[in-house]
A = this chain, B = another copy of it.
């Protein structure tokens, strides 16, 4: 007797999509294989078929998150118009998470849970930070025409950290307006164009 079933690979993709949303909302520690499986329509032991441990799933979630983010960001540099629009688009990525049910950046959430993560997941989180910092260095040097010095690199990580912090505080407040006003304050002092 057949029931409605998914195509090959769909279960895996559905688990990844649902898993990402859940980690962004509730974190790694609160992610339940049983609840995740139930949301997709399989049993928790099926999740273990794809990822032996929760850490393995989190590592792939972070890795994909970084890859997709990098592709989007590189696209921004190719269609470069002006520095203001470029940084607007960058900020928009983090704002979008808040727009989706007040969610966090996946890697910002995982960064907070660092001590609970297997080392491989910590590495993926730091790879995400690297991608952001490298992109910000490119964006800053293209915008200002300056060389990629250590000062620019520190400015880049400061911009990333500030935006992550704005997201964290706005999320706690439950008001996306707080995110917008904080970003505006950053720009007001000239942290980024």
Task: Give A contacts to B, CB under 8 Å.
Answer: 25-27, 29-30, 102, 104, 107-109, 111-116, 122, 125-126, 129, 151, 154-155, 157-158, 160-166, 168-174, 178, 181-182, 184-186, 188-191
Most buried by B among A109, A114, A181: A114
Bound together, the chains give a CA A119 to CA B113 distance in angstroms of 21
Are A30 and B186 within 8 A (Cβ)?
no
CB-based nearest B residue for A112? B112
User: Given A168-B168, A173-B126, is A112 in contact with B108 using a C-beta cutoff of 8 Å?
Assistant: yes
Q: What is the copy number of this chain in the assembly?
A: 2
Bound together, the chains give a CA A119 to CA B154 distance in angstroms of 37
Chain A at the B interface: SS class? helix
Please, which residues of chain B bring their CB within 8 A of the CB of A189?
Answer: 155, 189-191
Are A116 and B30 within 8 A (Cβ)?
yes
Please, which residues of chain B bring their CB within 8 A of the CB of A25?
Answer: 115
Of the candidates B108, B116, B162, the one whose C-beta lies within 8 Å of that of A162 is B162
Please, which residues of chain B bring their CB within 8 A of the CB of A102?
Answer: 114-115
Please, which residues of chain B bring their CB within 8 A of the CB of A188?
Answer: 151, 155
Residue pairs across A and B with Cβ atoms less than 8 A apart, 10 shown, are: A26-B115, A27-B112, A27-B116, A154-B181, A154-B185, A157-B181, A158-B182, A158-B186, A161-B162, A162-B166
